[in-house]
Amino acid sequence: MKVKVFDESHEKDLEEVINRFILEEEPEIIDIKFSTAIAVSEEQIYCFSALIVYR
């Protein structure tokens, strides 16, 4: 079993890297955990991440 972590500042970018990983590696996906975070200072900073557990 392995894990792969993806971290992007935009949700569409996260979708792209995950879809590319699935197409290229063709993993047997066991689980996906999704998380978002936001930081507010002079501007809002978003973080979209996913952890994929696969074989």
- Which pLDDT does position 41 carry in this prediction? 86
Report how far residue 4's alpha carbon sits from residue 50's, in angstroms, rounded to the nearest whole number.
8
CA-based nearest residue to 49, from 4, 14, 19: 14
Number of domains in the chain: 1
Confidence of residue 34 (pLDDT cuts 50, 70, 90): very high
Q: Which domain holds residue 25?
A: 2-54
The confidence score (pLDDT) of residue 42 equals 87
pLDDT at 43: 87
Helix residue ranges per DSSP H, 1-55: 11-25
Q: Tell me which residue of 32, 37, 43 sits closest to 9, measured CA to CA.
A: 37
Q: Residue 30 in contact with residue 53, Cβ under 8 Å?
A: yes
Mean pLDDT within 18-41: 96
Mean pLDDT of 7-17: 97
Would the pLDDT of 32 be above 90? yes
